[in-house]
Amino acid sequence: MNCCKNCFQDSDVKKYILKNGKIKDCDFCGSKSVPCVEPHDLRQMLNPIISLYISVENFMSTDELKEFEGDMLWEILNRDWYLFNIFDNTMIESLTAQIVNTKSYKEDYPLILTSYVVKKEDYYNDENHPSEIMENKWEIFTDSIKTINRFFLQKEFNHSLLRRMIGICKKTIHKDTVLYRCRISPNKETFSSSEMGRPPCEKATPGRANPRGISYLYLALEEETAISEVRPYIGDLISVATFRLTKDLKIIDLENIVIKRPVKYGHNLSEVIKYLDFLRKLGEFLEKPINPLRTEIDYLPTQYLCEYIKHLGYDGVRYRSSLNKGSNFVFFFDEAFEVSTIVSNYTIKEMTFPNYEYEHLK
């Protein structure tokens, strides 16, 4: 059977087929007279992805298997790795089987086509697995920057690789995007538009991304998220302003970390995953609600990495809100934003944290 470049989304697989394929009809997507290869020709190229997974039948009991609901290999390759460009699931399953179903694969990966699969590292507590390595590296990093060296770390990262991994998370937030900022009035007086921007540096307290004295602009994608993030109480007067982007900005998206071109990394894929797990840790720490009881020192790890992202020339970072499933942003500069002249003011009437009911003040 033959598959063609139109069967795949991954650009590196497409390039391989264009370079090595012979003009034939595709048996999977139906394309006519296009460069095609036999599916097993892609086996070595896709092996770094496939080898991440193992059949659950290798370690689950019969009773556990009866209750387990998981994913087949073809589903994971399609959903998590954006590999295929076919919309017929039967054809995706068949193509996956043709890629994998060889004698050597049957010996190395028994049951991988006929049962649910999971990542090996999820079920084997091995200190050499990427997640364990990066868990330890994160702990070493946070301990080092808090208690040993602040500006010159004793155990530095592989900055070249970390820079590449940060680049994987690069996104563009486009001109005319509207974002929100909320403030609680301490004296029941509304804020003007000019008071809704980032604070002056002399008043900048330490936050998730900024150290004391360096002012960043924290915004939310949704108005509800902006309100939830300041955690008002019943009776509080809050002001919400909109910020419109006047140009495109480059940000690092820690909310949606995916590898769109896994094939290009070859056998270095596990190393890439390792460093992306480190960035996921950064995203998780940025998500955590600010606790007034935490000391400045607790923010040092995220402040250091955000400043490194800033040093690389990016404009900000996107991260998930832990309060209402929305999206937050921190921007290192505010020159690209136009603040609304009209500020919306509300009084909090009801609170079922993290949801609020509020009355608009005219």
pLDDT tens sequence across 134-156 = 556 777 778 888 887 777 776 66
Residue 160 covered by a domain: no
- Say whether both 118 and 172 belong to one domain: no
pLDDT digits (tens, 9 = 90+) for 234-247: 999 999 999 999 99
pTM equals 0.77
pLDDT value, residue 129: 47
Question: In a structure prediction context, what are the per-residue pLDDT tens digits for the chain, which is 362 residues long?
Answer: 999 999 999 999 999 999 999 999 999 999 999 999 999 999 999 999 998 898 888 888 888 878 888 899 999 999 989 899 999 999 999 999 999 976 665 565 667 888 898 887 665 444 444 445 555 677 777 888 888 777 777 666 667 777 888 998 999 999 999 999 999 998 888 899 999 999 999 999 888 899 999 999 999 999 999 998 888 989 999 999 999 999 999 999 999 888 878 998 888 888 788 778 778 888 888 887 666 666 678 888 889 899 999 999 999 999 999 877 899 999 999 999 999 988 999 998 887 766 777 777 76
The residue out of 123, 157, 189 marking a domain boundary is 123
Q: Would you state the torsion angle of the CA atoms of residues 137, 327, 293, 308, taken in this order, to the nearest 10 degrees?
A: 40
Q: Does 158 fall in a domain?
A: no
Cβ(23)–Cβ(33) below 8 Å: yes
pLDDT at site 130: 44
Model pLDDT, residue 103 = 61
Quote the pLDDT of residue 311. Answer: 95
What's the alpha-carbon Rg for the chain, to the nearest Å?
25
Domains contained in the chain, number: 2
Edge to edge, what strands does the sheet with 34-37 contain? Answer: 3-4, 34-37, 22-24
Q: Look at residue 128 in the predicted model and tell me its pLDDT.
A: 46
Which of 123, 156, 176 is the last residue in one of the domains?
123
Report the C-alpha gap between 131 and 280 in whole angstroms. 11
Looking at the structure, tell me whether residues 195 and 93 fall in a common domain.
Answer: no
Give the pLDDT confidence score for residue 101 in this predicted structure: 78
- In a shared domain, residues 223 and 110: no
Task: Evaluate whether residue 244 is within a structural domain.
Answer: yes
Closest Cα to residue 332, out of 301, 303, 294, 290?
303
Side chain identity at residue 257, one-letter code: I
Give which of 193, 347, 298 is closest to 356, Cα–Cα.
347
The residue out of 123, 142, 159 marking a domain boundary is: 123
339 vs 237: CA distance, rounded Å: 20
273 and 332 inside one domain: yes
CB 281 within 8 A of CB 134: yes
Domain holding 115, by residue range, is 3-123
